[in-house]
């Protein structure tokens, strides 16, 4: 049986297929208003915006 022994791949497959296990990675993004940023954060934001403008991205 797939859930017995040392077969890790089979156990993972069984968990996903039968037990409904999901590998979920959650990414949480937050934004700060310009007045809430430190000077360093504002400089980084300006540099990224300038780089996107130079590269032709919006």
Residue 2 included in any domain: no
Overall number of domains in the chain = 1
- Where does the pLDDT of residue 6 fall: very low under 50, low under 70, confident under 90, or very high at 90 and above? confident
pLDDT of amino acid 46: 84
What range defines the domain where residue 32 resides? 8-55
Residue 18 included in any domain: yes
Residue 35 included in any domain: yes
Question: CB of 14 within 8 A of CB of 2?
Answer: yes
Nearby residues of 45 by Cβ (< 8 Å), 6 or more positions away: 34, 37
Structure tokens at 29: 């993004």
- Residue 37: is its pLDDT beyond 80? yes
Structure tokens at 12: 């993972």
pLDDT of amino acid 28: 79
- Residue 36: is its pLDDT beyond 70? yes
Question: CB of 30 within 8 A of CB of 23?
Answer: no
- Residue 25: is its pLDDT beyond 70? yes
pLDDT of amino acid 56: 65
């Amino acid at each position: 049986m797939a859930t017995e022994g040392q077969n890790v791949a089979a156990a993972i497959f069984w968990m996903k297929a039968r037990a409904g296990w999901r590998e979920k990675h959650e990414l949480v993004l937050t934004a700060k208003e310009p007045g809430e940023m430190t000077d360093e954060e504002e400089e980084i934001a300006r540099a990224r915006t300038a780089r996107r403008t130079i590269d032709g991205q919006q």
